[in-house]
Structure 1
Amino acid sequence: MSVALVGQARPVRFSNRRRPALPPRSAFGGFRFLPEVIVVAVRLYLRYNLSYRDVEELLIERGVEVDHVTVFRWVQRFTPLLADAARFCRHTPGGRWFVDETYIKVNGVWRYVYRAVDQDGQVLDVLISTRRDAAAARRLVRRALATLKVRPTEVVTDAAPVYPAVLDELVPSAWHHVGRHANNRIEADHSRLKHRLRPMRGLRTDRTAQTIIAGHAFMQNLRREHYELGVNAPRGMRIAAAFTELATAI
């Protein structure tokens, strides 16, 4: 009779069979509501001047009972995922960039919003900052360069003294234009952002503000057809079709 020794390691058997490849887990996994409902809620919020309670009411009218806090969580969770999935279909930006900053209130405190657009109105990047300084401007330009993988031939700014040194550092080959009224394009674009933020009952944190403002830029680019998304759908249905396509990618 053989006696097993205490602590004796059992022989390990190796198998040459490979485990079946599992499909990638959907970002909608674990959520009680269908992906179609979540995507519609996020799209309505980003597209129209609605509050979270407005979206809640619209969903209830369609037989979907969901709290406005849940809508807020969906927007915060899925807006960055949808925008990231869309970057592979994004049009190459033009060579003339407009860079400027505006300001908003976050939880009662002023914050600066650095934004960059090209000559075709494509929003290149946005950044919330507690300070109006060279560090914030450098972060915006550096992020835009890293994300878009292109370099501008001309950058238009206002007369803020922080931009020349930042642009000489990051895009020395680009012409820095500081002409009078040259920055009117992005100034007008700021007004669209503030018009969108007006129905909201205040932004509470810098993180949520960054998500909402980036989501506004994403939706604005979709409406201006800066993505190869929903191109086969009728014009009035392109945004809805684009969100449906992106939902399958995440």
Structure 2
Amino acid sequence: MPPGSAFTGFRFPAEVIVLAVRWYLRYGLSYRDVEELLVERGVEVDHVTVYRWVQRFSPLLAETARFCRHSPGDRWFVDETYVKVNGVWRYVYRAVDQYGQVIDVLVSMRRDAQAARRFFRRALATLKVMPSEVVTDAAPVYPAVLDELIPSAWHHVERYANNRIEADHGQLKHRLRPMRGLRTDRTAGVVIAGHAFMQNLRRGHYE
């Protein structure tokens, strides 16, 4: 949980705020659904407030948890999927290890070497170990980026080896479906990173 000072000035207790954020990220709920569940439990809050909580505290929860996450495995599966943001397609870079831990996510306007480089630099920033193998599809941007950033890793290109991460993409799409679209890139990044955090929490990848 973020430090108590992060909740200073908020009318509701930290436990209520974190519970609301967790419900929203974990389940296929709208902000109004979370409002209704809280009202049923005697917490009078509107859906706009729930939205603000998610936007503010989801990144804090995810970032705090990055530093108490288990070290990922040495085999990474990397792939991109697509989401619509305000009616425009965006790329979502995602990596999982052989144990199902989501290593990192990145929402990008482009699918190019610059975006891939940014994704891997972010993924490696808080890790103590480097992968020995990275499995990707045949996208032409990966060889040069991996040679630059993780030269010791074996880059394995295999069309069907990424079934593991394709299934993981499906869980993300399932969560996004009830949301009726993402309106901004920032909202997309917050929700998708928060969903990855909840996946790792459920799978036991934190100390």
Which bin holds the TM-score, normalised by the shorter protein? over 0.9
- Give the Cα–Cα distance (whole angstroms) in 2 for the partners of residues 161 and 145 of structure 1: 21
Task: Return the offset for 1:141.
Answer: 0.7
Residue in 2 that maps onto 1:105: 84
Q: Deviations over 1:165-204 (max 9, x none)?
A: 1111111110000123111111111111000100102111
The answer to whether 1:51 aligns with 2:26 is: no
1:137 corresponds to which of 85, 109, 116 = 116
TM-score (norm 2): 0.96
For residues 195-214 of structure 1, the aligned pairs below 5 Å read 195-214=174-193
Structure 1 pair 62/154, CA: closer, same or farther in 2 (3 Å)?
A: same
> 3-state DSSP class of the match of 1:41?
helix
How many residues of Structure 1 are paired with residues of Structure 2 in the alignment?
205
Partner of 1:16: none
Residue of structure 1 in register with 2:19 after alignment: 40
The match for 1:120 is 99
Q: Structure 1: which 5+ residue stretches go unaligned?
A: 1-23, 229-250
Partner residue, 1:65: 44
Identity, % of aligned pairs? 84
Name the counterpart of 2:125: 146
Q: Which residue of 1 aligns with 2:69?
A: 90
CA drift at 1:25: 6.3
Q: Which amino acid aligns with 2:6?
A: A
How far the C-alpha of 1:87 sits from its partner, in A, is 2.4
Q: Which moved more, 1:78-87 or 1:41-50?
A: 78-87
Using structure 1 for the length normalisation, give the TM-score. 0.80
SS at match of 1:27: helix
* Change in 2 beyond 3 A, CA 1:70/1:192: same
Gaps of 5+ in 2: none
Shift of 1:97: 0.5
Q: Name which of 114, 126, 134 aligns with 1:155.
A: 134
SS at match of 2:21: helix
Larger gyration radius, structure 1 or structure 2: 1
**Contact in 1 for aligned 2:71/2:128 (Cα 8 Å):** no
Q: 2:67–2:126: 8 Å Cα contact kept in structure 1?
A: no
- Cα distance in 2, alignment partners of residues 182 and 103 from structure 1: 19
Q: Secondary structure at the match of 2:79?
A: strand
In structure 1, what is the Cα distance between the partners aligned to 2:4 and 2:31? 28
- In structure 2, give the amino acid aligned to 1:176: H
Summarize the alignment of residues 167-206 of structure 1 with structure 2, pairs less than 5 Å apart: 167-206=146-185
SS of equivalent residue, structure 1 residue 124:
strand
1:220 Cα deviation after fit: 0.1
SS in 2 for 1:63: coil
Q: How far apart, in 1, do the equivalents of 2:171 and 2:30 lie?
A: 16
Alignment partner, residue 248 of structure 1 = none
Aligned to 1:165: 144
